[in-house]
Structure 1
Amino acid sequence: MFAIVTDPIDPRVLRESILDPAAGGFCSFEGWVRNHHQGRAVHSLEYEAYRALAEKEGNRIVHEAREKFEILHARCHHRVGSLAIGERGV
């Protein structure tokens, strides 16, 4: 499942939602807002998305990965809105 979200992302909640005794492992990626980009200071980021298209394409990619790599469960969330330094965007 791929979702565009506005609330902070809690990786523990996502992990718990896909725990399965049939699975042999768990892998996670988190992307945070950092304080610089190409030598320039960054104070915050503003993420926007066309939700319907982003979720459609995101779900297509997740489905493709699940089939190709025999993944039992997957959860991918991407935030929109204004994010401060250190906040999770992905």
Structure 2
Amino acid sequence: MEPIIQLTHAPLERDALVAAVSHPSVGGIVVFEGVVRDHARGKQVRHLEYEAYEEMARQRIQEIIAEAEQRWGVERVAVAHRFGRLEIGEASVIIVVASPHRAEAFDACRYIIDTLKASVPIWKKEVATTGEEWVEG
């Protein structure tokens, strides 16, 4: 299955991503959903704003998925990331990995989100009650 990569300003749809990677050969589906929380580093967060270099982000996400497929043998992956203004409680990123066995799905999912946060050109601005700040990962 070709990996699914969604880079969008629209709300993310977890159920649609899970359905897209589901298959009779799958024994485990792992979902990571990153949501906007109301605090960070001792500050009260009002909302977040995400920006990206979309073409490069898509390419790097494809590379990360290919690395995960090679390391853990997973073949059914979906990655969705949202941009623009996100309110408290909204999903900013969803990673879905489906595989015959749960261990590989967990390991691949963790690798994808950790590597995405560290190496994909996506930037996050926290808008807090005390001001605005661009933050890493």
Q: TM-score, normalised by structure 2?
A: 0.64
Which of 34-43 and 1-10 deviates more? 1-10
Instruction: Tell whether 2:27 aligns with 1:24.
Output: yes
Higher relative contact order (CA 8 A, sep 6+): 1
Which of 43-52 and 19-28 deviates more? 19-28
Shift of 1:2: 2.6
What do the CA deviations read for 1:5-45 (whole angstroms, capped 9, x no partner)? Answer: 11111110000011111112100000000001111010000
Find the partner of 1:72 among 72, 75, 79: 75
Q: Which has the higher strand share?
A: 2
Residue segments in structure 2 that go unaligned for 5+ positions in a row: 94-137
- 2:112 is matched with which residue? none
Query: Segments of 4+ in structure 1 off by > 6 A?
Result: none
- Work out the percentage of aligned pairs sharing the same amino acid: 34
CA distance in 2 between counterparts of 1:66 and 1:13 reads 21
Find the partner of 2:45 among 42, 47, 64: 42
Find the partner of 2:55 among 52, 67, 83: 52
CA distance in 2 between counterparts of 1:63 and 1:5 reads 21
